[in-house]
Amino acid sequence: MSGRLIVVGLGPGDPRYLTPDAEDALAAAEALYGYGPYLDRVPVRAGQSRHASNNREERARATTALRHAAQGARVAVVSGGDPGVFAMAAAICEEIEAGPDSWRALDVEIIPGITAMLAVAARIGAPLGHDFCAMSLSDNLKPWPLIERRLDAAASAGFVIALYNPVSRARPWQFGNAIERLRRHLPPTTPVIFGRAVGRVDEHINVVTLDVADAANADMATLVIVGSRDTRVIARPGRHPLVYTPRAAAEVSA
Amino acid sequence: MSGRLIVVGLGPGDPRYLTPDAEDALAAAEALYGYGPYLDRVPVRAGQSRHASNNREERARATTALRHAAQGARVAVVSGGDPGVFAMAAAICEEIEAGPDSWRALDVEIIPGITAMLAVAARIGAPLGHDFCAMSLSDNLKPWPLIERRLDAAASAGFVIALYNPVSRARPWQFGNAIERLRRHLPPTTPVIFGRAVGRVDEHINVVTLDVADAANADMATLVIVGSRDTRVIARPGRHPLVYTPRAAAEVSA
């Protein structure tokens, strides 16, 4: 009896982004764990148990899934996007480190997926075509001053910035504050991309400039990409613009 | 006659990482363009022309593919990993902006893929589980002092750093210089992951600490992830370690 825990990245939502590797892992599992809306994306299969939980219960989900795997089951924990980017893979590792030694003997596999920033970027051009960073704006697990420090560092050094978790009901002011912060470093014309529910039926992408970027246009399903000084917008008659960051860069002004 | 240009992300190499969306786009193309070794991953199909080029010829490849699409053809440009991350999507956008107006009328689509840092991270745990950045170490298109400035900014602000293109025959000293630079900011015990050819038959992953990280262990097929102060290593008897960055972070020391 050797348990197995697989953390599966579902990608942005539509099955056309689900890799064969992820598909096979889902089919082979005896038990599925995950945040309800992600689990709902996985077709029901006979002989598989399904364990939906709330998105605030990542830690409890991880320990329950690990216990189940330690009993010898083939367990899959599903994650939206890529499990390694602000998702379940780190939560699983945290619990393995804190848990019983037997959990270190488990067969653990993580299956990558298309993370939100790649899906949003692909829809609008190539905004991540040059150096970039990815930050979660949630201050549930880190102090807000640290987030501000990172925004300052990234913007002033010329990184494009992908912002995950810009807002939630419990975090109403943070994204507006982040926009204000970025305006200190970047020109008013800097392109800002709001990508909502990309890869799903209610997908919506909007490109604005930093001077008019409005935090009210983001919700929990939104991924935001803030360009650098080099990011460009190509207008196209009758089509959405292409937003991209050139591969070449000159020196960054201080 | 309406031309169509699709930039397709092939992922890390093995077909199990190729999304159905990418698979469909490859099947529907009349002409395929790409760096030879990437093109070699795509099965030969009747009625499709194939145009391999050198990896130093991104610009020429982009213009040739755009011209072909502007003649009304369904053209696919293939890219390893994700086309938007240090790959062909930005090159295509650059040429559209510089080219004739008719190129702005083309139907352009970019299909995301699993980029190397996600594949490497998944293999070893969750090193990108907290804020991170992605940088190309190539100074072909940006000055080396700018790269150093970005390494300083990212490491001192607590970002995990994924390094693309660490070395090439024409750039022998840069990666060693980058390691030295990062040692100014990060503890000697900081985990460094060398992921070579992940997702291919000759895959090799190695985890070392920053104090002994040796630039000679990277080549053109290597993706390097340098942890932050918070990145942890879980030893596992008889298995490779799990390397992860916890979701929570405290203040970064200056």
Search chain B and give the residue with CA nearest A19. B19
pLDDT value at B254 more than 70: no
| Per-residue pLDDT tens over the stretch A65-115 | 999 999 999 999 999 999 999 999 999 999 999 999 999 999 999 999 999
The reported pLDDT for the residue numbered B87 is 95
Give the contacts of B22 (CB within 8 A, at least 6 positions apart).
B8, B9, B10, B11, B111, B113
In the stretch 163-202 of chain A, residues with CB closer than 8 A to chain B read: none
DSSP code of A2? -
Place of tokens 């502007």: B70
Residue A101's contacts (CB-CB under 8 Å, 6 or more residues apart) are none
Tens digit of each residue's pLDDT (9 = 90 or more) over B112-145: 999 999 999 999 999 999 999 999 999 999 999 9
Q: Is the pLDDT of residue B252 over 90?
A: no
Chain B residue nearest residue A85, CA to CA: B129
- Dihedrals φ, ψ of B42, to 5°? -95, 125
Q: Residue type at A223?
A: L
Indicate yes or no: CB of A134 within 8 angstroms of CB of B133.
yes
Residue A22 has pLDDT above 60, yes or no: yes
Nearest CA in chain A to B6: A122
Asked if B86's CB is within 8 angstroms of A142's CB, the reply is no
Percent of chain B with pLDDT over 70: 98
Q: How many residues does chain A have?
A: 254
Residues of chain A positioned with their CB less than 8 A from the CB of B121: 84, 89, 110, 112
For residues A17-42, give the mean pLDDT.
97
| Mean pLDDT of the region A115-132 | 98
Residue B246 forms contact with A (CB below 8 Å): yes
A13/A82 Cα distance (integer angstroms) = 11
Confidence at residue A254, expressed as pLDDT on a 0 to 100 scale: 47
Do residues B66 and B96 touch, judged by C-beta distance below 8 A? yes
ipTM of predicted assembly, 2 dp? 0.97
Which residues of chain B neighbour A251 with C-beta distances below 8 Å? 143, 145-146
Q: Give the pLDDT of residue A252.
A: 58
Please give, rounded to a whole number of angstroms, the shortest distance from the CA of B98 to a CA of chain A: 10
CA dist., res. A134 & res. B129, Å (int): 10
Residue A150 CA, chain-centre distance (Å), reads 18
**Strand segments (E) across chain A:** 4-9, 31-35, 49-53, 74-79, 107-111, 125-126, 132-136, 160-164, 191-196, 204-209, 222-226, 232-236, 239-244
